[in-house]
Amino acid sequence: MFKYSYIYAIVFLDLISISLIIPVWGTHLRSLGASHFHIALLGSTYSFLQFLSGTPIGALSDHYGRKIVLIVTICICAVAYFLLGCVKSLIFIIVIRVIQGCLKHSQLLCKTLVNDQVPADQQTTVYGRMNGFSSLSFVIGPIIGGHLMEKSEGFYSLACYTSIIFLINALVVYFTVPNTTVPKKERKSASPFSDLMEVNWNECWPAFSLKMLGAAALFAYFSSVGLAMNEKFNLSPSEAGYTGALQGLTGGITGFAAGKIENIIFPSKNPFTKCFYSFIMLGIGFVSLALAPNLIIFMAAMIPISASSTLIRGFNNEILYEQSSSDHKGLVAGAGASSAAIARFLAPIICGFTMDMFGNNSGFLLSALFSFTGAVLSICLTKKSKAHVE
What are the tens digits of pLDDT across the range 343-381? 877 887 787 777 777 877 888 899 999 999 999 988 887
**Does residue 63 carry a pLDDT above 70?**
yes
- pLDDT number for residue 251: 66
**Does residue 308 carry a pLDDT above 60?**
yes
- Best CA proximity match to 378, nearest among 268, 253, 297: 268
Contact (Cβ atoms closer than 8 angstroms) between residue 305 and residue 368 = no
Q: What is the mean pLDDT of residues 282-310?
A: 86
- DSSP characters for 51-97? HHHHHHHHHHHHHH-HHHHHHHHHHHHHHHHHHHHH---HHHHHHHH
> Of all helices (H) and strands (E), which one includes residue 130?
helix 123-149
Residues 158-177: tens digit of each pLDDT: 899 999 999 999 999 999 98
Report which DSSP code applies to 185.
-
**Does residue 386 carry a pLDDT above 60?**
no
- pLDDT number for residue 167: 96
